[in-house]
């Protein structure tokens, strides 16, 4: 029998990085995996899981120690996201948004007062959310209708946000609103909104195809009062904060997709070794072997693109093109790998008795959120055609 090709996610890591990945993967296998299908069906995370994330230090992986974080690097956040996503995409999303979007935005754009106030909360027990999208503002992220008016001693926000990840659990929100629509995107400003602020409420929770246990909610602002000191960065500079943070976040999405594809791949390979047809495992058939080899190659390529973008970011090198490429390719590869695993499992692959159908559903979001695949293609093309 020919050897089955298997991707090892540890090939490109140092010993410390391997230990970190293995620790999180073991935790996910023991503490999350038994409840994955239950959480998917109920469309909610078990409340102890985010608490365990905080206890393990996974909600402030590269936050400086002075603010309660582990002060490692961005790459370690990517490893954590990948390891969790190989078991459950929904659980991975919580850690992803906290680290690559919310914490990053505070670290890069917050003044010292804001950092000291909010980062210790985000690393110790409070989930954050990143509120940019609106019903009419998706790929055209700066067509915001949410408005903020200076009321002298506070800002007043009015409008709605849509499809906000962690909306149901979050207590701290980074909200983008326009303070001067006449200036277009140059009026966009980032505000820190706490769940208890007057005039703020969480609206409809979406019933989704995939990553169902991760909450995706509408946010409503009705004369919401925000303290003057809760501007994140400078007034009118929110568009810069949004762009730079999303560029980093796209690497996190790439890590999610790699993890999801890895989880499906592992399940598929195991099945091909156990499934007997014509008196022998289907893994012994060359046609199956070739399909697994092709999937393994796509998965390896996706992982390397993601790792490269993350390491470039940590090295202080320009990484925007690489981030776009990693998200574009990994989301495509994840769908292809997960789809193939369903095919290899046959009728079982189409049922909830095996995990591959959930991985397949979870993978679809990768081509949509934090910049659609078409937006990634546009970004890459700009770099290729730049004079």
Catalytic residues: 370
Of the candidates 269, 241, 353, 258, the residue with the CA atom closest to the CA atom of residue 304: 258
Q: Which of 126, 83, 78, 79 is nearest to 102 (CA)?
A: 126
Alpha-carbon radius of gyration of the chain = 21
Contact 250, 186 (CB under 8 A): no
> In the structure encoding, which two tokens stand for residue 221, read together?
């602002």
Spatial CA neighbour of 224 closest among 327, 294, 154, 325:
154
Contact 76, 16 (CB under 8 A): no
Alpha carbons 363 and 309: distance in angstroms, whole number? 20
* 166, two tokens: 């962690």
**Can you tell me which residue has the tokens 């499906």?**
264
Alpha carbon dihedral 219, 223, 229, 233, in 10-degree steps, equals 50
Strand 188-194 to 172-178 pairing = antiparallel
Strand partners, 176: 190
Strand-pair category, 154-165 with 147-150: antiparallel
Q: Which two tokens stand for residue 50?
A: 């985010």
Of 342, 168, 343, 130, the closest CA to residue 250 belongs to 130
DSSP states along 121-188: HHHHT--EEEE--BTTBSSSTT----EEEE-SSEEEEEEEEEEEETTTT-SEEEEEEES-GGGGGGGE
């Amino acid at each position: 029998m020919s050897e089955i090709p298997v991707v090892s996610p540890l090939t490109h890591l140092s010993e410390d990085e391997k230990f970190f990945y293995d620790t999180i993967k073991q935790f996910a296998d023991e503490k999350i995996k038994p409840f994955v299908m239950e959480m998917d069906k109920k469309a909610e995370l078990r409340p102890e899981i985010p608490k365990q994330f905080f206890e393990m230090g996974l909600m402030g992986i590269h936050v400086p120690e002075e603010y309660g974080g582990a002060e490692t690097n961005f790459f370690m956040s990517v490893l954590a996201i990948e390891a969790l996503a190989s078991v459950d995409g929904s659980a991975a999303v919580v850690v992803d948004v906290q680290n690559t979007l919310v914490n990053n935005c505070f670290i890069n754009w917050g003044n010292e007062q804001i950092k000291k106030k909010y980062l210790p909360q985000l690393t110790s027990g409070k989930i954050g959310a990143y509120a940019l999208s609106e019903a009419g503002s998706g790929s055209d992220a700066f067509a915001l209708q949410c408005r903020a008016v200076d009321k002298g001693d506070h800002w007043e926000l009015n409008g709605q946000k849509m499809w906000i990840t962690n909306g149901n659990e979050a207590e701290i929100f980074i909200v983008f609103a326009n303070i001067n629509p006449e200036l277009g995107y140059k009026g966009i400003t980032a505000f820190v909104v706490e769940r208890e602020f007057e005039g703020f409420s969480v609206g409809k929770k979406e019933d989704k195809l995939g990553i169902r246990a991760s909450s995706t909610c509408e946010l409503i602002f009705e004369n919401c009062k925000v303290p003057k000191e809760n501007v994140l960065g400078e007034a009118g500079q929110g568009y810069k904060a949004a762009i730079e943070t999303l560029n980093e976040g796209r690497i996190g999405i790439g890590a999610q997709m790699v993890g999801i594809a890895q989880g499906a791949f592992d399940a598929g390979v195991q099945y091909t070794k156990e499934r007997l047809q014509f008196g022998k495992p289907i893994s012994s058939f060359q046609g199956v072997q070739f399909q697994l080899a092709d999937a393994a190659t796509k998965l390896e390529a996706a992982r390397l693109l993601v790792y490269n973008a993350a390491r470039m970011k940590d090295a202080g090198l320009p990484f925007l093109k690489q981030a776009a490429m990693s998200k574009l390719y990994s989301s495509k590869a994840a769908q292809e790998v997960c789809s193939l695993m369903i095919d290899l499992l046959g009728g079982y692959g189409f049922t909830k008795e095996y995990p591959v159908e959930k991985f397949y559903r979870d993978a679809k979001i990768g081509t949509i959120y934090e910049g659609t695949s078409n937006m990634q293609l546009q970004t890459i093309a700009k770099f290729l055609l730049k004079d």
